[in-house]
């Protein structure tokens, strides 16, 4: 290939690839991009939307382009938007910034006529959808022809001429106020420098996008829908309005945010008079829950949450009455199917189902009444997820589902309603329920009352009625509500104690002295946890009986004598450590190493904890037990003999079968393969020299065993509850889910925690409590604890807004403050 183009203009530093190709075409008097594209690629010279994107990303033959233009490849590479993948999302390198796909507009060129007049080339930054205003000329970029009103595309080689032949003039572009340049300014900062300055939440294009996206979810779309903000698909003038609108709550952080919240509260209070203050902000809470912010931008997430809490705490309850809706324009206007669809702005499949169920079947000309469509759109804007409904009512998800199942509240959309994937509830329905509750209050000051929160804690487990039956009874007047504090949602309901206990058929007499012990009592007595106790029972070591005591279904109970018998005969590891005043680390393993055989446990009968016979324990020598703390399995290698390959294989290598046997616990060759696949051990490369078997270096295998099988510094996940004297659920929620304790996987599904980490947690737990633990030890609900934080009565020592953890920890002194 010897040909070069006749005219070979210099590329500019901030020029886009597509722009340069256009300029080349124009300079060489081609009327479209096609001739140049066919020179670059023998097969494909069509100009299509996806082709433009590919060209911008550099998917073209740079070598040929370099030859055609006689420019070094480096110079040409500089015109490209390099594509990078971060956290599974696509980003483009524009100058110094990494810009997410959603903020790139490859489809339609946007231009500043004055810039082009000064120097006729397409600037890279014009492709970024948030760069809406030319900062040099303070005018809105143009992407639409003022003569034929069509959106520009890349088919013209001269950017200043529309397809219709009209010239694009600077006079057609709108001048903007300096207050409208904020977003373009931040974009330019990110592209030309390394960071964005002057906004407390925004540092780079990622946080920039996150903030706009959140603002967008809050202001202008269905917050239950998962559709991403897509600025790039809109024409400039709409994009400008939409982006500025989305950014409004954050424009002057945090004052603008408080202003925004005040407006929401004022409007919503008129619509939902029965909602608590936090419930009035349901859109915000749902948007926060559903936005990817929490994971991708935890700092912004926390800042928003913090200001929200501040707002709820300080809010002065402004209240206005909404003006009645404008009724004057209500002549029966009809909308076409297309207009209806645009107005509802939902997906095609949603649209079909929504109109089928909710709109009157269209007249023969397929038209819908504007009234009906507007009403449907209003409902769609009010919908919340089941999760959010639970928050508004201040119930658990489970109890909210019960209300739904029993028909006390109804879903507007959902799998059973219109086939939509999520259950969505009209907030009006929730307001109606709370209003009905509020209307049925009959104050009876003489009677003792039971708030719903207390009912859940104390009576619900033994109640003969489900929660929804209780609400039903209250709504029908069979159960008196004597107080309703709407700030606490349904939890703010208080019943008359006499009536409630009568209804749920609970006898308040004291239990008899010869009582049966519940599972909870046994857990406490043996200092173990629920699942372990069930395993001990199913191993036949502890006899139980089924009984129905204050509970609808029969439960397991243990007699006091049986528990005594068990405790005299058997002993659990935690008690061994206690008796010998020794470290509880690996106490079971150490006990077994002294030759004492457990009767039950992980390696015996798949029990969850080891159980020893008490009589065997008496013979243990404390010093020997203590000495074993530093015990480590020998990891010495076998002696070497002659170094023939076969001999070497025998001594230095192990085959898969041997490895499996060493792994123990019914390990097989498949398990060994899993370890290889996951990179824990590697097979020796012997190229058939040792037959067709796979061999492993003994050293490597023993190292693995030392690390995971015999390592006194690692505690198995299932032993952690005993080790920390914590129940499984609390371990899971307070320590694992929150990321305060991380586990190590051995590649075979067994997970461990490091002893050092556990020691630290143990120490911490002496002085610290989780929210649930604090609630339990003070007889309050978690909600009470959260309220106490909000009111400044107690202060967490760790948690959201304090450090990076998602759950709270409190100093034990908080107990007295809460009581
Ligand atoms: Zn300009
Ligand atoms: Zn035109």
- What is the secondary structure of 196-227 as a DSSP string? --S-SS-SSHHHHHHHHHHHHHHHSS-TT--P
Q: Output the CA 96–ligand 1 centroid distance in Å.
A: 21
Tell how far the Cα of 128 is from the centroid of ligand 2, in angstroms: 23
- Residue 20 Cα, ligand 2 centroid: separation in angstroms? 22
Q: Are 806 and 800 in contact (CB under 8 A)?
A: yes
How far away, in angstroms, is 155 Cα from ligand 2 center? 12
Give the CA distances from residue 774 to residues 130, 361, 450, 457, 511, in Å, rounded to whole numbers and listed in that order.
Answer: 47, 57, 21, 14, 27
How far does the centroid of ligand 2 lie from the alpha carbon of residue 245, in Å?
29
CATH of domain 714-818: 1.10.1660
Q: What does CATH list as the number for 645-708? A: 1.10.1660
Residue-level pLDDT at 540: 87
Q: Give me the mean pLDDT over the 28-54 stretch.
A: 79
- How much is the pLDDT for 405? 92
Distance 172 CA to ligand 2 centre (A): 12
CB-based contact 63:73 (threshold 8 Å): yes
Using DSSP, state whether 512 is helix, strand or coil: coil
CATH architecture of the domain 516-630 equals Orthogonal Bundle (1.10)
**CA-wise closest residue to 555 among 540, 537, 541, 573:** 537
C-alpha 285 – ligand 1 centre gap (Å): 40
Dist. CA 81 → ligand 1 center (Å): 21
What's the pLDDT band for 400 if we cut at 50, 70, 90? Answer: very high
- Residue 631: is its pLDDT beyond 50? no
pLDDT tens-digit series, residues 298-336:
889 889 988 888 888 775 655 444 444 444 455 567 888
Q: What is the pLDDT of residue 547?
A: 76
Q: Ligand 1 centre from 33 Cα, in Å?
A: 25
- Segment 549-605, tens digit of pLDDT: 665 567 788 888 899 999 999 999 888 888 887 777 678 888 888 888 999 987 788
Residues with CB under 5 A from ligand 1 (ion): 112, 114-115, 134, 136-137
Average pLDDT of the segment spanning 467-483: 90
Report whether 548 contacts 554 (CB < 8 A).
yes
CA angle in degrees (0–180, nearest 5) for 403-406-408: 55
- Alpha-carbon distance 646 to 246, whole Å? 72
Tens digits of residue pLDDT in 63-103: 889 999 999 999 999 999 988 887 778 889 999 999 988 88
What percentage of the chain carries pLDDT values higher than 90?
21
Please tell me the distance between residue 277's alpha carbon and the centre of ligand 2 in angstroms: 52
| Token output for 638 | 């076998």
Q: How far away, in angstroms, is 124 Cα from ligand 1 center?
A: 13
133-134/139-140 β-pairing: antiparallel
CA distance 677 to 693: 17
Instruction: Tell me the ligand closest to 152's alpha carbon.
Output: 2
- Ligand 1 centroid to Cα of residue 111, in Å, is 8
138 alpha carbon – ligand 1 mean position (Å): 7
163 CA distance to ligand 2 middle (Å): 6
The answer to whether 591 and 570 have CB atoms below 8 angstroms apart is: no
Asked if the peptide bond before residue 510 counts as cis, ω within 30 degrees of 0, the response is no
Ligand nearest to the CA of 116: 1
pLDDT of residue 315: 59
pLDDT score at 287: 85
Q: Which ligand is nearest to the CA of 161?
A: 2
Q: Rounded to the nearest whole angstrom, what is the distance from the C-alpha of residue 120 to the centroid of ligand 1?
A: 11
Q: Write out the two tokens for 346.
A: 């939902």
CA of 15 to the centre of ligand 1 (A): 14
Gap between the Cα atoms of 776 and 815, Å rounded = 10
- Ligand 1 mean position, distance from CA 12 (Å): 16
Give distance in angstroms: CA of 160 to centre of ligand 2: 10
* Beta-carbon neighbours within 5 Å of ion ligand 2: 145, 147-148, 162, 164, 166
Alpha carbon of 181 to ligand 1 centroid (Å): 13
CA gap 299, 119 in Å, rounded? 42
Consecutive H or E run containing 496? strand 493-496
CA distances from 103 to 99, 147, 192, 581, 794 (A): 7, 28, 17, 63, 43
Cα 800 to Cα 227, 231, 295, 445, 807: the distances in Å are 28, 32, 13, 40, 6
What are the C-alpha distances in Å from 626 to residues 582, 594, 720, 722, 783?
A: 7, 11, 20, 19, 45
| pLDDT tens-digit readout, 644-653 | 555 555 566 7
pLDDT computed for residue 612 by the predictor: 93
Determine the Cα–Cα distance for residues 201 and 303; give it in Å rounded to an integer: 8
Distance 112 CA to ligand 2 centre (A): 16
Is the distance from CB of 154 to CB of 48 less than 8 angstroms?
A: no
**Neighbouring-strand partners of residue 424:** 385, 413
Ligand whose nearest atom lies closest to the CA of 168:
2
Closest CA to 409 of 373, 434, 372, 379: 434
| Residues ≥6 apart with Cβ < 8 Å to 167 | 160, 161
Q: What is the pLDDT of residue 571?
A: 93
Q: What is the pLDDT of residues 368-391, one digit of tens each?
A: 888 888 888 889 888 999 999 999
The Cα–Cα gap between 785 and 768 comes to 14
Q: What is the pLDDT of residues 482-534, one digit of tens each?
A: 889 888 899 899 998 888 888 887 654 444 445 678 777 787 788 787 778 88
In the chain, where are the structural domains located?
Answer: 17-180, 185-314, 328-426, 440-498, 516-630, 645-708, 714-818
- Of the listed ligands, the closest to the CA of 111 is 1
The pLDDT confidence band at residue 446, using thresholds 50, 70 and 90, is: low
Looking at residues 230-257, what average pLDDT do you find? Answer: 87
Give the distance (Å) from ligand 1 centre to CA of residue 233: 22
DSSP assignment of 50-68 equals HHHHHHHTT-S-HHHHHHH
Rounded CA separation 652/698 (Å): 5
**Contact of 347 with 392, CB cutoff 8 Å:** no
Give the tokens for residue 88: 């599974």
Q: Tell me, yes or no, if the two domains 645-708 and 714-818 fold the same way.
A: yes
């Amino acid at each position: 290939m010897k040909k070069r183009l006749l005219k070979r203009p210099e590329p500019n530093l901030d020029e886009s690839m597509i722009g340069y190709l256009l300029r080349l075409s124009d300079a060489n008097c081609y009327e479209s991009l096609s001739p140049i594209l066919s020179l670059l690629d023998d097969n494909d010279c069509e100009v299509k939307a996806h082709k433009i994107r590919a060209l911008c990303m550099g998917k073209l033959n740079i070598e040929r382009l370099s030859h055609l233009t006689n420019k070094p490849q480096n110079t040409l590479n500089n015109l490209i938007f390099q594509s990078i993948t971060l956290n599974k999302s696509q980003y483009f390198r524009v100058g110094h910034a990494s810009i997410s796909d959603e903020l790139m507009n490859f489809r339609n060129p946007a231009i500043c006529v004055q810039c082009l007049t000064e120097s006729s080339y397409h600037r890279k930054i014009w492709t970024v959808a948030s760069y809406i205003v030319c900062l040099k000329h303070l005018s809105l970029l143009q992407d639409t022809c003022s003569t034929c009103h069509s959106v520009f595309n890349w088919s013209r080689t001269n950017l200043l001429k529309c397809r219709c032949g009209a010239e694009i003039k600077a006079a057609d572009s709108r001048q903007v106020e300096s207050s409208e340049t904020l977003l373009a300014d931040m974009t330019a900062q990110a592209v030309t420098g390394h960071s964005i300055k002057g906004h407390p939440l925004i540092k780079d294009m990622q946080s920039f996008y996150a903030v706009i996206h959140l603002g967008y979810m809050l202001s202008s779309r269905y917050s239950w829908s998962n559709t991403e903000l897509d600025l790039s698909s809109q024409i400039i003038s709409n994009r400008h309005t939409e982006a500025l609108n989305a950014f409004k709550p954050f424009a002057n952080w945090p004052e603008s945010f408080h202003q925004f919240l005040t407006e929401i509260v004022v409007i919503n209070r008129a619509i939902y008079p029965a909602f608590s203050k936090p419930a009035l902000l349901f859109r915000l809470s749902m948007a926060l829950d559903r936005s990817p912010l929490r994971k991708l931008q935890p700092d912004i997430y926390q800042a928003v949450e913090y200001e929200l809490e501040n707002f709820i705490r300080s809010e002065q309850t402004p209240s206005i009455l909404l003006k009645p809706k404008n009724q004057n324009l209500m002549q029966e206007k009809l909308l076409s199917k297309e207009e209806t669809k645009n107005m509802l702005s939902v997906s095609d499949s949603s649209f079909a189902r929504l109109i089928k169920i909710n709109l009157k079947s269209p007249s023969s000309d397929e038209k819908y009444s504007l009234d009906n469509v507007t009403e449907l759109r209003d409902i769609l804007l009010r919908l919340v997820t089941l999760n959010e409904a639970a928050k508004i009512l201040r119930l658990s998800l489970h109890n909210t589902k019960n209300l739904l199942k029993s028909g006390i509240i109804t879903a507007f959309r959902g799998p059973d309603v219109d086939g939509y994937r999520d259950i969505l509830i009209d907030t009006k329905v929730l307001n109606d329920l709370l209003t009905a509750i509020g209307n049925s209050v009959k104050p009876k000051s003489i009677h003792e009352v039971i708030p719903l929160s207390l009912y859940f804690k104390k009576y619900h487990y033994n109640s003969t009625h489900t929660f929804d039956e209780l609400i039903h009874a209250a709504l029908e007047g069979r159960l008196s509500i004597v107080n309703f504090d709407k700030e606490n949602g349904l939890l703010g309901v208080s019943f008359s104690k006499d009536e409630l206990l009568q209804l749920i058929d609970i006898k308040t007499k004291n239990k008899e002295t010869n009582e049966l012990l519940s599972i909870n009592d046994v857990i406490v007595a043996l200092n173990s946890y629920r699942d372990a106790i069930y395993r001990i029972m199913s191993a036949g070591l502890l006899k139980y009986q089924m009984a129905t005591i204050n509970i609808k279904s029969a439960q397991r109970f243990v007699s006091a004598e049986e528990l005594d018998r068990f405790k005299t005969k058997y002993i659990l590891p935690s008690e061994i450590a206690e008796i010998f005043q020794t470290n509880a680390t690996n106490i079971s393993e150490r006990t077994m190493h002294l030759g004492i055989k457990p009767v039950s446990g992980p390696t015996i009968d798949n029990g969850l904890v080891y159980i020893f016979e008490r009589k065997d324990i008496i013979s243990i020598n404390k010093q020997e037990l203590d000495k074993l703390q530093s015990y480590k399995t020998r990891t010495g290698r076998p002696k070497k003999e002659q170094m023939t390959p076969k001999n070497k294989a025998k001594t230095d290598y192990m085959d898969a079968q041997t490895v499996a046997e060493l792994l123990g616990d019914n390990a097989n060759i498949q398990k060994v393969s899993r370890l290889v696949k996951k990179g824990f051990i590697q097979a020796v490369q012997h190229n058939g020299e040792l037959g067709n078997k796979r061999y492993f270096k003994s050293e490597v295998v023993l190292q693995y065993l030392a690390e995971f099988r015999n390592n006194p510094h690692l505690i198995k996940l299932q032993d952690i509850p005993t080790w920390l004297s914590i129940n499984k659920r609390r371990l899971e929620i307070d320590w694992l889910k929150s990321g305060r304790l991380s586990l190590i996987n051995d590649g075979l599904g067994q997970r461990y925690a490091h002893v050092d980490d556990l020691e630290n947690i143990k120490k911490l737990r002496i002085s610290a409590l989780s929210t649930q633990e604090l609630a339990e030890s003070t007889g309050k609900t978690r909600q009470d604890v959260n309220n106490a934080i909000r009111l400044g009565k107690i202060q967490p020592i760790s948690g959201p807004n304090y450090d990076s953890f998602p759950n709270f920890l409190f100093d034990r002194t908080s107990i007295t403050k809460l009581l």
